[in-house]
Structure 1
């Protein structure tokens, strides 16, 4: 009977050990599942956060775009001025020296035009073609090298961007005699206007004291 009891006891121990292993495995499985759930939840929260940030960025960009479109649509020019993008242009038919033209533009709230893009040059050319009364009708722009020969400056003092110029072939040539008239200072100011010319090359240097028409420029006003 003692041996039988021993066998019985051993069998019970084995069953207990087997039951313990099963419980331990279940606990491990639960822990793993919980860990996976925590990781998945964290990843989901991260994705949600990133998506929310991206959505907010898109919303801000859309609002800024609408604001710009609305502001652009509300821009206007005064009577007598012509608009191109955010700028207004006034084409004066008064025959003035370059200095007088600059003063005139300042008096009406603008400045002699500063050309900063091919689009702007193209707009001015196309507009002038309809305003020119002669084959060669000359309009001052705001470019001069009267301070230092060869250093071309705009009315606000900024230098000419040499990669963005529209000189006619052979210009600037700084002649000291034009139409049998002597100019001691040469040609230190710039005008445009040559109806028969094609392309964008419409700039000519000219004596600053010559009488020409002019182009004034100022920013378009936003209608409140």
Structure 2
């Protein structure tokens, strides 16, 4: 129910002339009357949305900002996806190329009938005389009048006889010349995986310290030695008895092919077996 507002107003009434008496009222009388007026709600002078309009329509502006932000994010996502796709394509191409190179290497080694890792190409046989040539069995590499086996398995120096016998005989290599040392030193550069991936040779002073003997019992020629700088040092860090066996090899190449190091004999290393080459009737080119 609407609220009533009470207003007070002056209402003047004139007394009528008393005709019977024939006299008039000397003055007018004032009577206060209470007038009730219903106050109706005042309609708003502002239309709906007029406030939003007066401030630049913030709802519409927010929607535009959201669209712009979303567009930027989509562009960034598309760029990231494109870059990732490009990198994946390059990686796939590299893997395909490496696989092709590996298959070519494997095929080459298979045709030469040597171990796949490492691959030792078989040199042309040397002909000591007309119609007769040096040759080696499969898995052995021929150089001059000798055959060499470069192992892929590691073992101790004292296991060398059994290991060489399993691969066709012989014993750890005995180096008899500068030419032979040069050949072996350069071959090991190709097959060593790292600086410590050295190979046992058949030299030891286990019977008497400082007296170096080859595996066949012959003494080391003191004019034909290839010790690396500071070797032999008989270091006792691995064992109190010191170092009585010799390994060789320098991954980056040794100065003047001096690549011999004494080492504790029970440390596993790869090894080089050696045996005389066989002669046979072969056509030499």
Q: By how many angstroms is 1:169 displaced?
A: 1.1
Indicate the residue corresponding to 2:200 in structure 1.
140
**Aligned length, in residue pairs:** 153
- Alpha carbons 1:97, 1:210 under 8 Å: kept: yes
Match of 1:118 in 2: 178
- Whether 2:159 is the aligned partner of 1:100: answer yes
Runs of 4+ in structure 1 off by over 6 angstroms are none
Specify which structure has the higher proportion of helix: 1
**In the alignment, which residue of structure 1 is the partner of 2:212?**
152
Higher Rg of the two aligned structures: 2
**Among residues 190, 194, 216, which one is paired with 2:246 in the alignment?**
190
Q: Is the contact between residue 102 and residue 142 of structure 1 (CA under 8 Å) also seen in structure 2? A: no
* Alignment RMSD (CA, Å): 1.6
- 1:31 maps to none
**Structure 2 length normalisation: TM-score?**
0.51
* 8 Å CA contact retained: 2:128, 2:134: no
**CA distance in 2 between partners of 1:199 and 1:131 (Å):** 19
Q: Which runs of 5+ in 1 are unaligned?
A: 1-66
TM-score using structure 1 length: 0.65
CA deviation digits over 1:27-67, x for unaligned, max 9? xxxxxxxxxxxxxxxxxxxxxxxxxxxxxxxxxxxxxxxx9
Out of 133, 143, 162, the position equivalent to 2:222 is 162
Local SS of the residue matching 2:255: coil
Deviation of residue 69 (structure 1)? 2.0
In structure 2, the residue matched to 1:85 is 144
- Equivalent residue for 2:135, pick from 68, 76, 79: 76
Larger relative CO (CA 8 A, sep 6+): 1 or 2?
Answer: 1
Which structure 2 residue ranges, 5 or more long, are not aligned? Answer: 1-126
Deviations 1:76-104 (A, max 9, x none): 01111111100000001111000112321
